[in-house]
Structure formats: structure tokens, C-alpha cells
Amino acid sequence: MVSRRGVASSLRALLDRGFRFTIIGGTVVEHALGSRDLGDDVDLFGEEPSPLLEEEYYSVAHELGWSSGQTWLGTPRLIARVGGEEVPLEFFDNVHDFYVPEPMLERAERVVLDGVRVKMVLLEDHIVLKAHAGRGSDMERLKEIGRHVRKGRLQVSASLVREAVEFFGDEAPVLLRRLREAGLL
């Protein structure tokens, strides 16, 4: 698990060097729950520079004394070191089967993580991204989010979820079915 402080410090170092990104992964859920730990890694949609320009990512990792590698999609993965903590930062772009609709990035909110202002997709958009991925682990995570909603720990707008589903066009019926199965609609 990575701490809020570790995530904030890592992201601040990148922001200070001109990097721009939006948090898209499970960190969104943990932030909404108010968790002290924000998951095992931080999934980011890279905006500037593009994650497809890997060298800029690896260069900043070298400058900061961080480790670097690749995600399952071949995009940059940096391992920041903050104090004694390692913070994996995984950068994504719309490549292969990975897709984040532009409207989700446009309506991302600015949140403050331990004093650092960052962009984060709406919880509802994260939920739809999970439904779109549709792997077994994603479906389990959606069911877990559904349990948090039923227990009152998370608030999810059904209208925002339905709006986000429409960003996927012809895939909408499949996404709606997955979300119903997870108890989120």
C-alpha cells in the first residue's frame, strides 16, 4: 500500500518538472473512501508529455533516482522512492485496447492529496472504466465498490454513471449489464 504522503510527494516532483496527468485508477476509490493508503500503485493517464514518448519519463526517473520499467501495455512505469517507501506510478495512454474517453478527462476534478493539487477522474468515470476493462479482477473490484455504496461509505451518481457509459457508444449495453451485475445500477 502506498501512503497519501508518498503519492503526493511523487506527483509533486513530476508536476514541478512540467508533467501533466490525471489519476484514473483505484486511487480514485481509496481517495473517495478517505483511506490513508491509496492502493498498491497509482494509475495515471499521461497528458504531457505523452507516455508514448517514453524517454522523457525514463530521464526524469534517472534524475530523481527512481527505478523505471514498463506497464503491461509497454508504457512507462516509474517507481518513486519517498523516504523508505516505494510508490509505483503507471502511465497510460489510449493505445491498443486501453481507452479513456476524452470527456472523462475533461470533466476530471481537481483534488488535493496531502497538499498537492492533482486531477482525478470522477468516481463514476472510474467505475465505468473498470466495467469497460471487464476482467475478472475488475468485476470483483466493482462488486466491492457496490458493497461500499450499499453500506453508505461511497456516494455514486447513477446519472453520471449512465452518462459515462454513453462515452463508449456501441459498448454501452455490455457495460450497463456489467454494472447491474456488480450492483452499481
Determine how β-strand 20-23 pairs with β-strand 116-120.
parallel
- What is the residue-level pLDDT of the chain in tens, covering all 185 positions? 999 999 999 999 999 999 999 999 999 999 999 999 999 999 999 999 999 889 999 999 999 999 999 999 899 999 999 989 999 999 999 987 789 999 999 999 999 999 999 999 999 999 999 999 999 999 999 999 999 999 999 999 999 999 999 999 999 999 999 999 999 99
**What CATH architecture applies to the domain 4-121?**
2-Layer Sandwich (3.30)
CB-based contacts of 116, cutoff 8 Å, min separation 6: 8, 9, 11, 12, 15
Determine how β-strand 42-48 pairs with β-strand 20-23.
antiparallel
CATH 3.30.460.40 placement within the chain? 4-121
Rg of the chain, C-alpha, whole Å: 16
Cell of 41: 500503485
Burial class (CB in 10 A: 0-12, 13-18, 19+), 25: buried
pTM beyond cutoff 0.75: yes
